[in-house]
């Protein structure tokens, strides 16, 4: 018997028809049957989570038209744009399930059109690799011009300050992570990573495709380039990178604390390879290159190559995606970590040659470390390259000079110390940007 049939009987009985009198006990039993049947039906319906969810959504939408169901924009959507040279995925450097990076300074962008007058959005992350050995990485984001930072990575990160229907633009940056458990190994991902699986938005939203700019710059360096000593997004690499974005470039921050030309990176003893490792050289020449111990051509330790099928550096793994500009700020940790001087000099010369070969059209700029570490050797390496390649005019030097070294050496200096503070990074970026633009403008003539 259906609930509606029982309800009809009860209604008829309550009408008090003189032709039919029902005993009070029968009325009570009928009422109990009605309540029991209704309760059982509701329980059976709620036993199916899918039906329960749909039902709840229908009720909510009726009582609150602004509350809509949601969808997840996957990471392989053309609406996602990832910083070049920073990301791997569940299928090599791509995939449908996730993208991940361990590089502070890496970013992604996504835009969508919301039909809801009160839109919502959540960044969906996979944090299954995290452990108590390190604090979760932190991100910063910009939604429609409003910034928030120091946000610990979690499975869901709610985006605040979204108002009104229409277009919304979100940029997300990995701005900090502990310098440990980041590199990974063959067949094993790094643990301390930012792994993105999608963006949850309202169901009536429409992703807006936005291909990344084809030109891109690459910042290679140590903890200073990574941003140690500066607050979130205040490193010179970020500031110069954002200046380049105004000129139509994407950029990649490829930096690791403690690392050097041949010195390992991350907290000692470190598991991130040196940049271009040479051993057994003599007076800065010769020696054996150790690819397994080098990271210049790798995204991470889990077999994700930075090179395309032609052996060229690639933004996202495809052919024809070489960088247009490479800036290298290395040498500080090779001095402070007592790296073999001959092997370091050989690494500079041979590493520079490898970069020129893997990005034949790129402008390459050697930034003399702000503390003037290996300044003479770096300049000598560029001179050797120019002598060996007289037709190559694409290798330059930016040297902020001994004055900067004295500034950073001062006790309680205004610009910070070995690791510049925000003021130091800003001033150094202000000195670097016009020189970079001059080099690029000269190359375009």
Number of domains in the chain: 3
Backbone phi, psi, residue 367, to 5°: -90, 120
Q: Inform me whether the pLDDT recorded for 40 exceeds 50.
A: no
Please report whether residue 422 resides in a domain: yes
Same domain, 289 and 425: yes
Alpha carbon 367 to its chain's center: 24
* 245 and 383 together in one domain: yes
Percentages helix, strand, coil for the chain (3-state, rounded to 5) are 30, 25, 45
| CATH number of the CATH domain containing 156 | 2.60.120.260
Q: Do the domain assignments include residue 52?
A: no
80 lies in some domain: yes
Provide DSSP, 80-140. Answer: EEE-TTS-EEEETTEEEEEEEE--TT-EEEEEEEE-SSS--EEEEE--TT--TTSPPPEEE
Q: What does the mean pLDDT of the chain come to?
A: 89
Confidence at residue 411, expressed as pLDDT on a 0 to 100 scale: 85
Residue in the structure block whose two tokens are 């073999």: 340
Tell me if 113 sits within 8 A of 205, measured CB to CB. yes
Is the same domain home to 33 and 93? no
Q: Spell out where 222-282 has E strands.
A: 249-255, 278-279
Written as one string, the DSSP assignment of 167-179 is EEEEEEEEEE--S
Is 50 exceeded by the pLDDT of residue 147?
yes
Q: Is the pLDDT of residue 245 over 50?
A: yes
Same domain, 154 and 7: no
Local confidence band at 168 (pLDDT 50, 70, 90 cut-offs): very high
One domain, residues 241 and 301: yes
Output the CA–CA distances (angstroms, integers) from residue 128 to 99, 131, 137, in the order listed: 14, 8, 13
The two structure tokens encoding residue 98:
């996730």
238/197 same-domain check: no
- The residue segments making up the domain with residue 162 are 70-208
Tens digit of each residue's pLDDT (9 = 90 or more) over 273-282: 999 999 999 9
* Residue with tokens 């009198």, as numbered in its chain: 21
Least confident of 58-67, 105-114, 229-238, 355-364: 58-67
Choose one of 208, 229, 249: the last residue of a domain: 208
Instruction: Quote the CA–CA distance of 71 and 200 in Å, as a whole number.
Output: 6
Q: Which of 362, 356, 360, 352 is nearest to 440 (CA)?
A: 362
- Domain identity same for 149 and 282: no
Same domain, 128 and 184: yes
Helix (H) or strand (E) holding 150: strand 146-152
How many angstroms separate the CA atoms of 428 and 240, rounded? 10
Percent of the chain with pLDDT over 90: 83
Question: φ, ψ for residue 220 (rounded to 5)?
Answer: -110, 135
Residue 59 covered by a domain: no
- Per-residue pLDDT band for 68 (boundaries 50, 70, 90) equals low
Residues 23 and 93 in one domain: no
Q: Is residue 61 part of a domain?
A: no
* Omega within 30 of 0 (cis) for the link into 269: yes
């Amino acid at each position: 018997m259906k609930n509606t049939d029982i309800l009809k009987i009860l209604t008829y009985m309550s009408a008090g028809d003189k032709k039919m009198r029902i005993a009070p006990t029968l009325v009570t039993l009928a009422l109990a049957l009605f309540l029991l049947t209704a309760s059982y039906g509701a329980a059976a319906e709620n036993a199916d989570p899918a039906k329960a969810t749909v039902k709840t959504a229908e009720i909510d939408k009726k009582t609150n038209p602004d509350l809509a169901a949601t969808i997840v924009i996957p990471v392989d959507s053309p609406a996602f744009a990832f910083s070049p040279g920073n990301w791997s995925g569940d299928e090599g450097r791509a995939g449908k399930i996730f993208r991940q990076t361990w590089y502070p300074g890496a970013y992604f962008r996504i835009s969508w059109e919301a039909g809801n007058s009160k839109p919502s959005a959540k960044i969906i992350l996979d944090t299954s690799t995290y452990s108590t050995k390190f604090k979760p990485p932190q991100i910063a984001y910009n939604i429609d011009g409003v910034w928030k930072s120091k946000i610990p990575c979690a499975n869901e990160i709610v985006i605040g300050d979204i108002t009104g229907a229409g277009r919304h633009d979100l940029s997300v940056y990995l701005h900090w992570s502990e310098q440990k458990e980041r590199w990974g190994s063959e067949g094993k991902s790094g643990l301390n990573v930012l792994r993105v699986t999608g963006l949850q938005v309202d169901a009536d939203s429409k992703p807006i495709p936005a291909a990344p700019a084809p030109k891109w710059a690459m910042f290679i360096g140590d903890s200073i380039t990574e941003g140690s000593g500066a607050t979130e997004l205040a490193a010179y690499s970020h500031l110069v990178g954002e200046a380049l974005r105004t000129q139509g470039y994407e950029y990649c921050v490829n930096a690791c604390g403690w690392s050097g030309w041949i010195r390992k990176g991350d907290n000692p003893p470190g598991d991130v390879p040196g940049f271009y490792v040479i051993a057994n050289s003599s007076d800065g020449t010769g020696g054996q290159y150790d690819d397994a111990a080098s990271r210049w051509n790798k995204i991470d330790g889990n077999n994700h190559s930075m090179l395309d099928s032609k052996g060229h550096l690639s933004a996202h793994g495809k052919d024809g995606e070489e960088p247009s500009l490479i800036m290298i700020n290395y040498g500080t940790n090779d001095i402070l970590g007592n790296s073999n001087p001959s092997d370091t000099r050989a690494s500079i010369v041979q590493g520079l040659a490898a970069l020129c070969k893997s990005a034949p059209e790129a402008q390459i700029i050697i930034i003399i470390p702000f503390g003037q570490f290996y300044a003479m050797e770096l300049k000598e390496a560029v001179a050797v390259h120019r002598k060996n390649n007289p037709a190559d005019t694409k290798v330059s030097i930016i040297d902020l000079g001994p004055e900067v070294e004295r500034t950073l050496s001062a006790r309680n200096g205004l610009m910070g110390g070995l690791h510049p503070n925000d003021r130091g990074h800003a001033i150094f970026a202000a000195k670097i940007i016009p020189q970079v633009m001059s080099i690029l403008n000269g190359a375009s003539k």
